[in-house]
Structure 1
C-alpha cells in the first residue's frame, strides 16, 4: 500500500501541478480547433502522445513494462467517446481538467466531478452496470492495432513522429504575435514554478514524460498501465461509500495526487479562490458530469486513458476514441457557442 501511495501520489502531484500551471485542458483545445481555428493545444497533445509512445513501447520491448493490450467493444468506444466529448463541454473541463479546476476552488467543477465519479461508479459497479455489460458484448476486438494487422508497431510510431514534427514546425513558423507581458513579481524558483508562462509545446513535452514515467511507476506497484482517470475516480467514490480497501489502488492515489498538485500550483500562483456558479452552470455541470461518467465507462477511458495513454501504445481503441471525443466536443460547441451567436446576429 505504501508503494502505491508514494508512486501513484508523486506521479499525480507532478501531473496536477503541470496541468494547472500550463492550463492544459483538452476540452478547450478541442473546442478551439473548431471555433477559433487554433490547433496549438492539440499539437501539444500530439507531442505528449509521441514522447510517451516512443518511451513506453521501448520499455515494453525491453520487458520492463508488461503488454497492456486487451479486448474492447468498438461500439462502446464509438458511442462512449462521442458522449464523453459532449459531456466535457457541458462540464467545462475534461477528466483531468475537472480535477484541477476543482482544486482551484470552482464549485461547478466540484459538481461535475462528483457526478462524473458517481455515474462512472454506477456503470462499473452499481445500478447502471447492465448498460456497460450490454454494450461490451458487441463488436469486440483486441486493441493491439499493429498485431491485428501483422506489422511492426514501429511503423506507426515513425508515422506519428513525422506527422507531429511537421505539424509543430509549421505551427512554430507561423507569424508570431508580440504580446506585452507584465514585469514579474517574483524571482528565482518561485518565478519559474508559479509565475512564468510556458509555451503549450513545452507543456506537452513534460506531460509526455510524466505519462511515460507513470508506466514503470505503476508496474512496480503491481499494476499494468499508464495514466488513467475514470476507473480510479469511480474506485475513489466507491471506497468512500463502501470502505472496501481493495479499491485503493495505484490509480486512486494518482487522482488524489493530481488534486493535491493542482491545489499547490493554484495556491502558489495566487489562483485559488472559491467561486460559486449560477444555477444554469450547475445544471450543465451535473449533466456534463453524468455524460462523462457514462461515456468514459462505455469507451473504456477518457481523454487521458484513451486519448493519451492508449494512443501512445498504438491501441486501436485509443485512435478511435480520440477523434470521436473531438467530434463530440465540436457537436456540443456548435449548440452551446456557435448557434446562439448565429441567432443573436440574425444569421
Structure 2
C-alpha cells in the first residue's frame, strides 16, 4: 500500500510546481509587498482540508490523534524554521519540488534539512528535542477546549476563505490583465494560486485514508519522511521505507515531470553566497520543524485544518521568523558608484545578443536568434561568447540599450531577487522607459507580471528564451 504514497506525492509535486505554490513566498509577500493575495491561497488549502478531514472524521473513516501543545518547543522551533526558509529559498515542500526543477541550491538545502531533522529526531540532538518537549500543556485543539464539534470552526473558516477569494479575484478583475508568456501554449501556463490551493487541499484529504491504510495515521507531512528517507539510505533499514518516504520522493518525481515537460527544468548552480545560505537555511529548517512538530505542510496545512493549538501558533511564529529574516536578508544588491565610459562592453550568459545595438528592433534581444550563443555542457546553460556596444547606464545595475531601453541581468538570481532588483532599478527610470529583464527563476514568471499589473507598468514583451529562461520587457507607467 505504500506505493499509493508515491502516486499522491507525484500529483502533489505536479500541482505545486505548476502552481508555483510556495508558502515562504506567501508569508514573505505580507512583509515585503504588504499583500495578502497569495496568503489566501494557503487559506484555501486549509479550508478544503478542514472540510474534508472533518467529513472523514465524522464518518469514521479516519481517527486523527492530537499531541499536547508544547509552547516552548513550538514557538522556538517555528521561529527558527521561518527564519531558515528565507535563507534556503523555500519551505520544506518547496525545497523538494524546486529540487525537481534542477535548482542545486535546493538540493543543498534538502540535504542539510534531512541531516538536521534526523539528528533532532533520533540522533545526537534528540536529547535537546526531548528536553524542549518536556514542558507541555493539556491543550490539544480548539474544539476540544470548548467542548464543541469541529464543524463550528470549519464552516465559519470556509465561509471567510470564500469571501477573501472573491475579494481578491474581484480586485484582479479590475486590474490590467496579467501578462502571460506569448510564445507558449495554454497547457504550459501556470495554475492560478487559488486553483492550486484547492487541488492541494483535496490531495491532502485523499492522502489521509490512503496513508492510514498503510499503517501511518496521518496525512501530508514532509519533515519526518525526509528524515526517514536519509535514514533508509544510510542504514538500509526497511522500517524507514514507509508511506511518508514515498510521498516526498513522489513530490520530487512529479515536480521533475512537470518542469521537464513544460521547459522549466535546467540544472542551475548557485553562487557561493546562495550555497552557504542554503546550508544554513536547510539546517535551521530541520531543527525548527523538529521542534515545532512539523513544517508549513504538517503544521501550516494539516494541523491548522484540525484547528490544533500547535498548528496555528506554529504558523504564526513561522510567519514572524519569515518577516524578521526577510527584513535582514531580502534587500536589493548595492552597486558601487563609478564612472562609466561613453562606450563599453556588456555580456550576459543567455539573453543579450552578440551585436551592436543600432535600431529599435534590436532593443529587445533574443537568445534564439543569436548565433553567438552556444550551449554549454551542464543542463543546457548557454554562454554569450561576444560583446555588444552599450551606452552609459542610469544605474550601475543597468546597461542602456538605447532609445529608452535598459537591460537588467537577473540570470542565476533565486526568488525573490529578480523581483526585488527589478523594483529597485525601476525607481531610476523615467515614465515611458523600458526595462528588459532576463531571468531564470520559475516563480518570477508570475511574480514580475503580478507586480507590473499592481504598480501600473506595462509588459510590452514576455517570452521564453530557452530551457528555464525568460525575458520580459516592462514599460514604466
Give the alignment's TM-score, normalised by structure 1: 0.92
Deviation at 1:140, TM superposition (A): 3.2
Matches within 5 A, 1:245-264: 245-264=238-257
What residue in structure 1 maps to residue 230 of structure 2?
A: 237
- Find the aligned partners of 1:267 and 1:76 in 2 and give their Cα distance: 40
The reply on whether 1:171 has 2:168 as its aligned counterpart is: yes
Superposed, which structure 2 residues align to 1:3-22 within 5 Å? 3-5=1-3, 7-22=4-19
Q: How big is the shift at 1:142?
A: 4.1
TM superposition shift of 1:339: 9.2
Which runs of 5 or more structure 2 residues have no equivalent in the other structure? 338-423, 425-477
Matched, 1:95 2:88: no
RMSD over aligned Cα atoms: 1.7
2:279 aligned with 1:286: yes
Using the TM superposition, give the Cα deviation of residue 131 of structure 1 relative to its aligned residue in structure 2, in angstroms: 1.1
Q: Helix, strand or coil for the counterpart of 2:330?
A: helix
Match of 1:301 among 290, 294, 303: 294
Q: Displacement of 1:328 after TM fit? A: 0.6
Aligned residue in 1 for 2:120: 123
Structure 1 distance, partners of 2:180, 2:245, is 39
Mapped to 1, the partners of 2:333 and 2:134 lie a distance apart of: 39
Deviations 1:257-299 (A, max 9, x none): 0000000001001111111111111110000001000000000
Cα distance, 1:153 vs structure 2: 1.4
* Equivalent residue number for residue 144 of structure 1: 141
Q: What is the distance in 2 between the residues matched to 1:120 and 1:317?
A: 18
**How far apart, in 2, do the equivalents of 1:340 and 1:330 lie?**
19
Q: Deviations over 1:49-92 (max 9, x none)?
A: 10010011110111101123222412111110111000000000
Residues 176-198 of structure 1: CA deviation (Å, up to 9, x unaligned): 22233344544xxxx53xx0232
Q: 1:69·1:142 contact (CA, 8 Å) conserved in 2?
A: no
Per-residue deviation, 1:148:
2.2
Three-state SS of the structure 2 residue aligned to 1:40 is coil
Aligned equivalent of 1:330: 323
Kindly provide the CA deviation profile for residues 14-69 of structure 1, in whole angstroms up to 9, marking residues without a partner as x.
Answer: 00011111110111111011101222221011011100100111101111011232
Deviates more, 1:196-205 or 1:241-250: 196-205
Distance 1:212 1:45 in 2: 15
Question: Whose strand fraction is larger, Structure 1's or Structure 2's?
Answer: 2
The residue number in structure 1 matching 2:307 is: 314
Q: Tell me if 1:212 matches 2:211.
A: no
SS of aligned partner of 1:37:
coil
Greater relative contact order, per chain length (Cα 8 Å cut-off, separation 6+): 1
SS in 1 for 2:138: strand
Structure 1 or 2, whichever has the larger Rg, is 2
Residue 71 (structure 2) aligns with: 74
What is the SS of the residue equivalent to 2:281?
Answer: helix
Measured in 2, the distance between the counterparts of 1:168 and 1:180 equals 21
Deviation at 1:216, TM superposition (A): 1.1
1:338 positional shift: 4.8
How many residues are paired up? 334
Moved more, 21-30 or 140-149: 140-149
Cα distance in 2 between the residues matched to 1:65 and 1:10: 20
33-42 or 125-134: bigger deviation: 33-42
Give the conservation status (yes or no) of the 8 Å contact 1:74–1:141: no
1:272 is aligned to 2:265: yes
Q: Distance in 2 between matches of 1:220 and 1:176?
A: 47
Provide TM-score, normalisation by structure 2. 0.68
Shift of the 124–182 alpha-carbon distance from structure 1 to 2, 3 Å rule, reads closer
